[in-house]
Amino acid sequence: MQFPFAKEELLIIPGPVGQLQAVLHQGDEAGMFASHHWLVVVCHPHPVHGGTMDNKVVTTLMRTYRDLGIHVLRFNFRGVGKSDGVFDNAIGEQDDLRAIISWCRQMLPDAGVLLAGFSFGSSIAAQVSYEVAGLRHLTLVAPPVERYPYSRDNQFSSATCVIQGDQDERVIAQGVYDWVASLQGEVKLLRYPDAGHFFHGYLTALKTDLTQILQQQLRL
């Protein structure tokens, strides 16, 4: 499948309330999964608290997937950057993600879809994941499970990786661990005893460790 975009392309994608600002990254042609022509959509943290698609955790996720040969689309939710609209309390943001996935299906119809999200964005990814036919994988970083919906009947529709730091100042880490322990299916936990919410000082380790998890889970 020919990739019909530049290696890194700025995009304006039609959304439910106007345009959505996005960046599409071509997966490394030498990456392990390049021949699969997969694409991951990455969701950023809370818009009201400064979350954007340029967040360091989001861009670390982007580089992780890109280097494995997986195309990456990161985007700004409504009201962020050049995306139209205003924050909609995790309701309209789900519609934003649906619009992005629909665009990806149209423009790259042969690409298998993966989802990833950080903090607030992980809930959006988790909730919409059930609607994505043939979803390949789901990555949830620092998920605030005490504040937003996540799993249905304690399981997801694809292999899942949850990433959490013990010293998270915004998410109750033990609540995440208890939740992960209750999940059924193929679920991996990456736990960092000294990492806070934004994984300062641990982003390189996160990239290395997630790469290994993806290599394992995507080969299942």
Considering only CA atoms, which of 171, 169, 115, 167 is closest in space to residue 142? 171
Question: What is the C-alpha separation between 29 and 22, in angstroms, rounded?
Answer: 21
Percent of the chain whose predicted confidence (pLDDT) is above 90: 98
pTM over 0.95: yes
Considering only CA atoms, which of 215, 211, 219, 210 is closest in space to residue 191? 210
Q: What is the pLDDT of residues 47-94, one digit of tens each?
A: 999 999 999 999 999 999 999 999 999 999 999 999 999 999 999 999
Is a pLDDT exceeding 90 seen at residue 2? no
Is a pLDDT exceeding 90 seen at residue 220? no
Is a pLDDT exceeding 80 seen at residue 1? no
Q: Are 219 and 72 in contact (CB under 8 A)?
A: no
**Domains, the chain, ordered by start:** 8-217 (3.40.50.1820)
